[in-house]
Structure 1
Amino acid sequence: MSQKLTLEQIQNFEGKYPKQLWHLFMVEMWERFCFYGMRGVLAIFMVDQLGLTDANSNLKYGAIQAFVYAFTFVGGIFADKILGFKQSLIFGGLFMIFGNLLIGINPKEFFYIGITLSIIGTGFFKPNISSMVGMLYKDNDARRDAGFSLFYSGINIGALLGGILCVHLGKTYGWSYAFLAAGVVMILGVAMFLKFKNELGPIGDSPLLNIAPKTRKLRELGVLIGSLLCIPFIYMMIQNTDYTDIFMYTIGPLAVVYFIYQLIKIPDSNAKSKFLAAFILIAFSILFFAIFEQAGGSLALFAKGNIHPSVFGISMDPNVVNNGANSLFVIIFAPILGLIWIWLSKKNKEPNTVIKFGLGFLFLAGGYYIFYTMRFFSDAQGLSSLEVFSLAYLVVTISELCLSPIGLSMVTKLSPKHLGGMMMGLWFLASAYGQYIGGKMGASMSVTKENATLIDKMLAYTGGYKELALYSLIAGLILILVSPLIRKLMREVK
C-alpha cells in the first residue's frame, strides 16, 4: 500500500488541476446522474402516475427538492462535527442507493418512502464532496475557481446522461427502469469513491480521530439512529405540503440563529467579516435558485404540453431537452468560462465574486425573457418552438456558470476551515428555500380551471416567466450597485 499523502503534497500540485479533482468529479458524476435522473421525472411522473394536478405537482416537487437541499445543512454539520467528509459521503450514498432501488421495485407503492431515503442520502453526500474539492487548494490559489468550474462541468456529464436516459426509460419502458437506473449508477459512484479515497490523504477524515474509538463509534451510531428517526417526519411532510410550510418556516430561522452563534464565536475580526460576506451572498442565492430551478417543475410541465416535439426538423422529446440541455451547455461552456477567469486573473481584470453573482442574475433575466417570448412563436394549438426553448436554456446556463460554481468556490474561500461543511450546507439550504419558493411560483403559474386549453397554459406559464425575468433583473442590478460594500467585508478574498 502506498504511503498516505500529506495535505501539503496534495496542494502543491503542478498544472491547472490537482489529480484528485478528476476522481472526485467522477464520483460526483454518478451521483448527479442519480439526482438529475430522478429530478427530471418527478413532476411528470406525479401527474401521469399519481394523478396530481399541475399545481399540486409543482408544490410537491418544490417540497421534495427543498428537503433534499435542506438536509444538506444537517449533513454538513454532522460531517464537520462527527463523521468527516469521507464517511458522510459513503453513508449518504448508501441511503440514495436504497431509496432509488426501492422506488424501482414499485414506483406507485414505494415512491414516497424511496424519495424520503434519497433526501436523507443526498443531504449527507452533496455538501461534503464539494467541501473536499475546496480543500485540494491552498487558501489564495487563483486556480480554485477554474477547478470548481471544471468540477461543475465534469459532474454535468452525469446530469446529462441521467436527465436523458431516465426520461427515456420512464416514458418508453416504464418508470421502474428510470429509478432502477438511478440506483445502479449510484452503486458505481460509491464503489469508485471507496477505491480512490486514500488518494485524498487527510482531506475528509473524521474530526474525532483523536478520541477513544468506542466514543467515536457511539457518536457515529447516534447519527445513523437520528437519520432513521427522521424518516417518518420527512415522509409525512412530503405527502402533505402544509407540513412542509411549517418545516421551512422553522429550519430557516434556526439556521440563521446557528450561524449567528458561530459568527460570535469566531475570535478573529478578519475571519468574522468574511464569514458575514459569505452569508449575504448565500441569502441572495435564494432568489436565484427559486427562478433557476423551475426546470424540474413548471418548465417540465410546460415542455410536456406546450412544445413541438422536434428541433431543426429532428424528432425530439421536449422533456429530454428540458432535462438535458442545461447539462450539455454546462459541459461545453464551463471549461471555457473557467479558462477565461484564469486569463482575466493573469491580467488583473477578473470580475470579483460579487460582480459574477450580479452577472448571473442578469443572464438569468435574459433567459427567462426568452421563455416569455415563446408565446409569440406559438401556433393555434398552443405549441411553441423547441429551438427557442433551447436558446433560453443556453442563456440560463451562462447565468448558472456565473454564480453556482463560483458560489461553491466562494463558500470554501470565505469560511473558516472548521465550519466548511456547515457553510456548504447553508449554501444548499439556500437552494432548499429556492426550490421551496420556486415550487410555489410554479404552482401560481399553473392553470387551475378544468378544461383549460394549451393556449391558456401557454399564456399563464409565459406570463409567469416574464415576472421572473423582472425579479432577476432587479436583483442583478442591486448586487452590482452594493458590490463595493460586500467586497469590503470579503477583505483579501476576490
Structure 2
Amino acid sequence: MNLTLEQIQDFKGKYPRQIWSLFFSEMWERFCFYGMRGMLVVFMISQLQFIEKDAKLQYAATQAFVYAFTFVGGFFADRLLGFRKSLFWGGFLMIVGSLILATNAFSFAPGISKFNFFLGLSFTIIGTGFFKPNISTMVGKLYKPEDNRTDAGFSLFYAGINLGALLGGYVCIAIGQGDMFSKIPVHFRWNVAFGLAAVVMVISLINFIFTQRSLGPIGFQPGHPLSDEPNKIIKKWQEYLVYLGTILVVPLIMVMVSKTEYTDYFMYTIGPLTLIYLFYEMSKVTSVERQKLWAALVFIIFSILFWGIYEQSGGSLSVFAENNLNKDLFGLNANGVNNSGGSFFVLLLAIPIGLLWIWLSKKKAEPNTIIKFGLGFLFLGLGYYAIFATRFFANAAGITSLSVFTIALFIITIGEMCLSPIGLSIMTKLSTKNLQGMMMGMWFLASAYGQYVAGILGAHLTEPKSGASNLEVLNTYTSGYKDLGLYAVIAGVVLILVSPLVKKLMHGVK
C-alpha cells in the first residue's frame, strides 16, 4: 500500500491504524526479552551456582549492555540501515541467541552450560539493541510533530510492550521452575523456557513483514527514494560491514558480561563519549534546536536515577520474591508475579491514563512533561515504601504477603506510566530530524546506566550479613527499599521545582 507520510499522519480518531501492527510486533519481542530477563538471576543461582551478589551484578551487566546497544542500533539505523533493516537484523540475532540457550548450543544436552549461557545472552543483547529503539522511533513518525495525541499513542504502544512482558515474564519463569507444564523433564525445563522466547520472536518478525505494507516511507534505508535522505549513497559493503561487525563483537560481549569488572570500564567510557558526540552534533543545529536537546538531556539524566531505583525486579526483588514471599495471591508463583505484575497493571492503566492526558489537554489542564516525570518519581517512592511495609506482615520464618507486595507493584506502576511512555514520546518531539534514532538510543542508553546503577544498589543495599536468618534477610531487604523510596521522593520534588526552567527550554513542546 503506497501511502504517503502525510496520509499516514492525517488520521482520524485517537490512534493511527499502523500503531496496532507495531503494537503486536513489539509485544512478541518483549515476550522474548522479558521472558529471558525474568529467568536470569534465578537461573544463575539455581543452575549455574552463582552466589546471590554475583548473580545480581551479572544481571545488571547483562541489562546494561542490552540498553547500551540500543544506542548502537539507533546510530546505525540513522546512518546506514534504516529502521526496518535494523529491526529485522536485531530480531534475527535475538532468535539465534534464544536457540543457543534452548538447545545448549545445538548439542541437545540436558541443561544449559555457563559458556552457552553467556554466548546466547550476547546474541540477545546485540539483537535487542538493533530492534528496540527503531520500532519506537517508527511509532513516533506516525504523528505530526505538533500532534497532541502522541502521548496517548505511546501509552497504547507501551501497553503492547507490557502485554508481552506480562506473558513472557510469568510463563517463562513458571516453566523453568516447573509451575507450568510440569510434565516437561526436569533437565529440559529451562531449555524449553528459553526456546519459547525464540518462537515468539519469529512471530514478531513475521508480523512486521505484513506491517511494512502500511508504513509508507517510514523506516526506509537512507538512499531509498522514499526515505528522509533520498540522495544519500549507502554502499552494500557498508551495510554488510555492520552485519559482520556485530557478529565479530559477540566474543567481546561474552567476556565483558561474564566478568563484571569489564562492565565497569565500559560504563565509565561509553557515557562520556556519547555526550561528547552529542555536544558535537548540538554545535551544528540552531539555538532553538540546541535548547530542545538540552531539555532532552535533562529527561535522560533523571531517567537514569528513575531506572536505577525502579529496576530491581529482575535483580534483588527476584531473590526477595524467591526467599521471602508466600503464595497468598491465588497460589501464583511469587517470582512470576514479581516479573509480570507491573506489566499487568500497565495494561489496566495504559489506555485510561492515555485518555486522561487527552482529556486534560482539551481542558488545557494537562501537566507538562517534566511535571509528569516528577509525579512518576513520587509514586515510585511511595511504592518502595509499600514494599518496606511488607515486613509488618511477615511471620517468624521471614515469609511475607505476596498480596501486599503486589499492591506495592501497582503503586510503582503508576509512577512508571507517568514517565516511561512519555519519555519515548518526548525524545521524538525534542530531537532534530536527523538525530531521532540517536536520541532514542540515548534514552535507552540512559536505561543502561539505570540498570547498571540498579544492580549496584541491589547488590549493596540488600546485602544481609553472613549467617542471617530469613527474617533478618527480609528486614535488610526492606530497609534498603525504604532508602530507595526516599531517594525517589527527593528526585520528584527537585523535578517539580525545576519544571519552569525545563519548560522554557522545550519551546512549546508538550
TM interval, shorter chain, is over 0.9
Could you tell me which runs of 5 or more consecutive residues in structure 1 were left unpaired when the two chains were aligned: none
- Kindly report which structure 2 residues correspond to 1:39-438, keeping only aligned pairs within 5 A, or say none: 39-106=37-104, 107-108=112-113, 109-172=115-178, 173=184, 174-209=189-224, 215-266=234-285, 268-311=286-329, 314-438=330-454
Q: Which amino acid aligns with 1:189?
A: S
Task: Compute the RMSD of aligned alpha carbons.
Answer: 1.3
- What is the CA-CA distance between 1:362 and the residue it aligns to? 0.2
C-alpha distance in structure 1 between counterparts of 2:212 and 2:296, whole Å: 29
C-alpha distance in structure 1 between counterparts of 2:494 and 2:82, whole Å: 38
Bigger helix share: 1
Could you report, residue by residue, the CA deviation over 1:341-377 in whole angstroms, capped at 9, with x for unpaired residues? 0000000000000000000000000000011111111
C-alpha distance in structure 2 between counterparts of 1:197 and 1:448, whole Å: 51
Decide which of 2, 20, 24 is 1:26's aligned counterpart. Answer: 24
Could you tell me which runs of 5 or more consecutive residues in structure 2 were left unpaired when the two chains were aligned: 105-111, 179-183
C-alpha distance in structure 2 between counterparts of 1:261 and 1:227, whole Å: 25
Once the two structures are overlaid, the 10-residue window that deviates more, 37-46 or 222-231, is: 222-231
Once the two structures are overlaid, the 10-residue window that deviates more, 484-493 or 229-238, is: 229-238
Answer whether contact 1:55 1:446 (CA < 8 A) is retained. no
Aligned residue in 2 for 1:478: 494
Once the two structures are overlaid, the 10-residue window that deviates more, 268-277 or 143-152, is: 268-277
Closer/same/farther in 2, CA of residues 212 and 476 from structure 1, 3 Å limit:
closer
Matched residue SS, 1:296 = coil
Aligned residue in 2 for 1:453: 469
- What is the CA-CA distance between 1:413 and the residue it aligns to? 0.5
Q: Which amino acid aligns with 2:254?
A: Y
- What is the CA-CA distance between 1:324 and the residue it aligns to? 1.3
- What is the CA-CA distance between 1:468 and the residue it aligns to? 0.4
C-alpha distance in structure 2 between counterparts of 1:450 and 1:352, whole Å: 48
Once the two structures are overlaid, the 10-residue window that deviates more, 255-264 or 445-454, is: 445-454
- What is the CA-CA distance between 1:140 and the residue it aligns to? 0.4
Answer whether contact 2:326 2:334 (CA < 8 A) is retained. yes
The aligned length equals 489
Matched residue SS, 2:177 = helix
C-alpha distance in structure 2 between counterparts of 1:154 and 1:342, whole Å: 19
Q: TM-score, normalised by structure 1?
A: 0.97
Answer whether contact 1:447 1:456 (CA < 8 A) is retained. no
Answer whether contact 1:101 1:179 (CA < 8 A) is retained. yes
C-alpha distance in structure 2 between counterparts of 1:235 and 1:370, whole Å: 38
Answer whether contact 1:29 1:159 (CA < 8 A) is retained. yes
Matched residue SS, 1:315 = coil
Answer whether contact 1:54 1:446 (CA < 8 A) is retained. no
Q: Which amino acid aligns with 1:111?
A: F
Could you report, residue by residue, the CA deviation over 1:18-61 in whole angstroms, capped at 9, with x for unpaired residues? 01000001000000000110011111000001101111111000
Answer whether contact 1:287 1:434 (CA < 8 A) is retained. yes
Answer whether contact 2:80 2:234 (CA < 8 A) is retained. no
Could you report, residue by residue, the CA deviation over 1:57-91 in whole angstroms, capped at 9, with x for unpaired residues? 11000000000000000110000000000010000
Matched residue SS, 2:283 = helix
C-alpha distance in structure 2 between counterparts of 1:37 and 1:488, whole Å: 41
Matched, 1:8 2:6: yes
Q: TM-score, normalised by structure 2?
A: 0.94
C-alpha distance in structure 1 between counterparts of 2:454 and 2:309, whole Å: 6
C-alpha distance in structure 1 between counterparts of 2:241 and 2:498, whole Å: 44
- What is the CA-CA distance between 1:456 and the residue it aligns to? 2.1
- What is the CA-CA distance between 1:450 and the residue it aligns to? 4.3
Answer whether contact 2:222 2:233 (CA < 8 A) is retained. no
